[in-house]
């Protein structure tokens, strides 16, 4: 399944930034590859940058990695629920409140990357288990229509978006 197969009715315009961060990704292949690329990228960041904030009130790199973990867990949960044809409207979440209530900056970078890897492996197992029919099921999350496969691509695009932010504002 390629990103080019995704229809604009499968996600909200709110997520265009993440979709536009993608080129010709293959869902399963790039869920795996993008993780390895991200870990390699982060491991090359100088240690003193992990706690850096480019402006007052902005998140650190550690905060953003925790944010990626949290969002991937939420998007994967949404994908699982929707893939099972659960038509319950799923609530949104306040990402800023989530960050305030983490301990990301007291953790080591390798610990955060290990958790991100564990979450991604779980995500991979979920998406590998889904049929083509399940991937196109649509549901409602945060008040908008979203398909299971769009959620997978959003996980990849969200990660790439934040990697670009690291390059532009932190390094």
Residue 164: pLDDT band (50, 70, 90) is very high
Residue 5: pLDDT band (50, 70, 90) is very high
Angle between helical axes of 148-165 and 61-83 (0-180°, round to 10): 170
pLDDT digits (tens, 9 = 90+) for 92-106: 999 999 999 999 999
* Number of structural domains in the chain: 1
Q: Which domain does 65 fall in, by range?
A: 3-170
| pTM reported for the whole predicted model | 0.96
Residue 80 corresponds to which tokens in the numbers above? 């699982």
Burial class (CB within 10 angstroms; exposed 0-12, middle 13-18, buried 19+) of 130:
buried
CATH of the domain at 138: 1.20.120.450
């Amino acid at each position: 399944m390629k990103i080019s197969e995704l229809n604009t009715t499968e996600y909200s315009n709110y997520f265009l930034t993440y979709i536009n961060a993608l080129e010709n990704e293959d869902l399963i292949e790039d869920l795996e590859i993008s993780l390895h690329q991200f870990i390699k990228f982060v491991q090359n960041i100088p240690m003193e940058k992990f706690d850096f904030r480019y402006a007052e009130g902005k998140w650190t790199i550690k905060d953003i990695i925790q944010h990626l973990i949290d969002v991937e867990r939420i998007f994967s949960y949404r994908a699982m629920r929707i893939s099972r044809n659960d038509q319950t409207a799923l609530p949104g979440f306040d990402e800023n409140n989530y960050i305030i209530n983490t301990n990301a900056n007291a953790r080591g970078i390798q610990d955060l990357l290990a958790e991100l890897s564990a979450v991604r492996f779980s995500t991979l197992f979920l998406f590998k288990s889904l049929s083509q029919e399940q991937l196109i099921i649509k549901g409602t999350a945060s008040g908008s229509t979203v398909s299971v496969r769009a959620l997978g691509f959003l996980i990849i695009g969200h990660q790439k978006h934040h990697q670009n932010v690291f390059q532009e504002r932190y390094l």
